[in-house]
Amino acid sequence: MDYLDQLEDEAIYIMREVAAQFDKPVLLFSGGKDSITLVHLAIKAFYPAKVPFPLMHVDTGHNFPETIQFRDELVSKYGLNLHIEYVQDAIDANLVQEESGKYASRNALQTVSLLNGIEKHGFNACIGGARRDEEKARAKERIFSVRDDFGQWNAKNQRPELFDLLNGRINQGENVRAFPISNWTELDVWNYIKREEIALPSVYFAHNRKVFLRDGLIWSDSAFINKSDDEEVIEKIVRFRTVGDMTCTAAVESYASDIDAVIGEIIAAEISERGARIDDKRSEAAMEKRKEVGYF
């Protein structure tokens, strides 16, 4: 058994524990490589039966079109049950206020739609693709990470996890975020995607794209992003290491057009995977602050 087999076994064990301990689990799906890997693991975990829980995507309306197309094709291919929560609905209901200005983004607004979706459907366990190597706030999360009945997370009030014992006991209104690939690294995910021949959206591979430069980052040109008159749109060969909302995800220059090239690029990379995430640059504790109020 190699290390990828060990990681796969652990993730499948966690998936099955979620299904066994909770009556209303859901898999949070963003269309990124980590949640796509989770879907692959869920299919393996319960095969030949169908995946026993639905997927939920919080659609900001500002997603990469390639990601939305991939999501719909994946759901159709495997007969998955998908719930979509739209940030636009929360804006229309005056539950959140759309940001304005140069750095306007709907990324943080997703939290309200996420929590509304959890409450509306009564989900008590949300399987997510967060990994400890991504970002320091995510490194603090347990495999089973409890949220209170307001969806809030407290980093100082987490349960110990001894060996592989996962405690899913919660009070009414609370829910658990479960992270089957918490112990994986970015490189582990890519090596697993290669081994399992998992398909990904085209944005993960080098392609010619209209972009503009801001604050040392490569922003994708989009009608959703407010540009200054002096920000010139150019074309570059780029790819994305993470895939989130278009307003919070920057590209990296790359000629990695296949998985082997991507893996080689990651091994040689001198910046972190989330070094091109605009949302993480709002403050030193941006991710932790978002997680405290219920973010993914």
CB atoms within 10 A of CB 89: 16
DSSP one-letter string for 231-248: ---EEEEEE-SS---TTT
Asked whether the predicted pLDDT for residue 291 surpasses 90, the reply is no
177-212 confidence digits (pLDDT tens):
999 999 999 999 999 999 999 999 999 999 999 999
Give dist(CA 285, CA 278) in Å, integer: 13
pLDDT at residue number 72: 97
Please give the pLDDT value at position 157: 84
* Average pLDDT for 125-136: 91
Q: Say if residue 43's pLDDT is above 80.
A: yes
| Calpha distance 49→69 (Å, rounded) | 26
- CA-to-CA dists, residue 28 to 55, 111, 147, 154, 186, angstroms: 6, 12, 15, 20, 18
Asked if 127 and 27 touch (Cβ cutoff 8 Å), the reply is: yes
For strands 144-147 and 175-178, give the pairing: antiparallel
In the chain, which ranges are E strands? Answer: 25-28, 55-59, 82-86, 125-127, 144-147, 175-178, 207-214, 217-220, 234-239, 252-253
Tell how far CA 7 is from the center of its chain.
19
* Position 272 pLDDT exceeds 90: no
Q: Quick one: 189 exposed, middle or buried, by C-beta within 10 A (0-12, 13-18, 19+)?
A: buried
- What is the value of pTM for the model shown? 0.92
pLDDT greater at residue 281 or residue 233 = 233
CA 167, CA 165: separation in Å to the nearest integer?
6
The per-residue pLDDT of the chain, averaged, comes to 92
